[in-house]
Structure 1
Amino acid sequence: MEGFGVPHDTGNPGDNPEGNPWTVLTSTMKYENPWIEVIEHTVLTPKGTPGIYGVVRPRSLATGVIPIDDEGNVTLVGQYRFPLEQYSWEIPEGGGEKGVDPQVSAARELLEETGQTARHWMPLMTLHLSNCITDEVAYTFLAWGLEQGAACPDDTEVLATRRVPFAEAVAMAMRGEITDSMAVASLFKLRLMADGGQLPDDVARLIRP
């Protein structure tokens, strides 16, 4: 079985330094469940030697949001992460159906995990997560103008929330207390955007030191 969406050899990589130097010979579905697929490709490596390459393909997009309240606080979500076997503090995150606006999915996750809705939204980043083993894509956002309601987490989630000043959330990432890649990258980018005057005034005033 060929394909599964992985690009095949595009020709001599010397002709296009950013082209695909791999040749995919066959592709086989090794495992699937409602959330992921695992595809094993038999390949010729960029040096022309035979090999295999396994790719984990999530069935959904990843989304995350930094919610800033009127006092300049960020709501963080804590949960035990099964693959890591450790507890993790993060921004509100979750999956969204492919083909659905990622902001819509991020707003749903924000409501489910924190009970918050937001009047204002701004895209922050598009990320490729662990790009040597997965094609997972993440979209993150800034949200402000919050209203608090009741959270409604999934049955599989046991969540805690805490509100910290934006500067403290950045400091937690600097200290290694936040290690989730979407959270770290989005917090740092937002800090740089604030320092560079790239945010609307009504949200910039909330996160200035």
Structure 2
Amino acid sequence: MSVTHTAETNPWLTTGERMVYDNPWIRVTEYQVIRPSGNPGIYGVVHFKNLAIGVVPMDADGQLWLVGQYRYPLKAYSWEIPEGGGPLDVDPLISAQRELLEETGIRADRWDLILTMHLSNSVSDEQAFVYLATGLSYHDSQPEETEQLQLRRVSLDAAYADVVEGRITDSISVAAILRLMLMKKENRLIYG
């Protein structure tokens, strides 16, 4: 059996583009393209004007904090790690610190980047940065006007069970919890 290897170059040719939609958070562009097969087509891309930011606040007992909120696009309630957006030209760590305080009232002494990921790379350029926040102190939260939040303190094992059983489905939260469980199994998870 032979395997064909292709170069890691762009096989797409863009022949035109038009902006379809634009608001303060996203821009949708339709591109006229020549596909890798050589045939003409279109490709829609959602450009995100912010980075996606996720934070797992973990206390000295190894418990983490989840945020519950109603997610308008899903028309469903969602439990997830604290997350939000950060401007493209701002250090993601600064945005993570702001998001954690806004949503939970928590500040952290230690910040470790545990994950970067592209959230839906077939249709968008959205990039996520996920931090583990430890050395926690508790203050007043400052949620945005679009947020009606609940907080829940859970063990990593309980959060992992929620992921496995499909009760936590938010992609950043799923990836972060799986990453933390792997770090725990490899004895690389530091609480405190």
Counterpart AA for 2:175: A
Report sequence identity in percent: 50
1:176 maps to what in 2? 166
Q: Structure 1 residue aligned with 2:141, among 151, 161, 182?
A: 151
Question: By how many angstroms is 1:16 displaced?
Answer: 5.2
Distance 1:82 1:132 in 2: 23
Alignment partners' CA distance in 2, 1:80 and 1:15: 45
Per-residue CA distance 1:139-191 (angstroms, 9 max, x = gap): 00101110011111000111111111111111111111100111111111111
Match of 1:97?
87
The residue matched to 1:168 in structure 2 has which SS? helix
Q: Which residue of 2 aligns with 1:38?
A: 28
d(CA) in 1 for partners of 2:164 and 2:158?
10
In structure 1, the gaps of 5 or more residues are: 1-13
Q: TM-score scaled to structure 1, two decimals?
A: 0.87
| Alpha-carbon separation, structure 2, partners of 1:104 and 1:17 | 37
Query: Any stretches of 5+ residues in structure 2 without a counterpart?
Result: none
The Cα shift of 1:116 comes to 0.2
Q: Within 5 Å, which residues of 2 pair with 1:23-172?
A: 23-172=13-162
Distance 2:147 2:189 in 1: 33
| Structure 1 residue 197, shift from structure 2 partner | 2.4
What RMSD in Å do the two structures reach over aligned CA positions? 1.4
Q: TM-score normalised to the size of structure 2?
A: 0.94
Moved over 3 A (4+): none
Residue type at the aligned position of 2:63? N
The one-letter code sitting in structure 1 at the alignment partner of 2:64 is: V
Secondary structure at 2:16 match in 1: strand
Cα offsets for 1:41-68 (capped at 9, x unmatched)? 0001110111100001110000001100
Aligned residues between the structures? 189
SS of equivalent residue, structure 1 residue 70: coil
2:161, 2:135 → 1: CA distance? Answer: 23
Structure 2 counterpart SS, 1:154? coil
Structure 1 distance, partners of 2:5, 2:58, is: 47
1:21-41 superposed Cα distances (whole Å, 9 cap, x missing partner): 111111111110011100110
Structure 1 Cα separation of the partners of residues 189 and 17 of structure 2: 45
Report deviation, 1:15: 9.1
Q: Which structure's relative contact order is higher, taking Cα pairs within 8 Å and 6+ residues apart?
A: 2
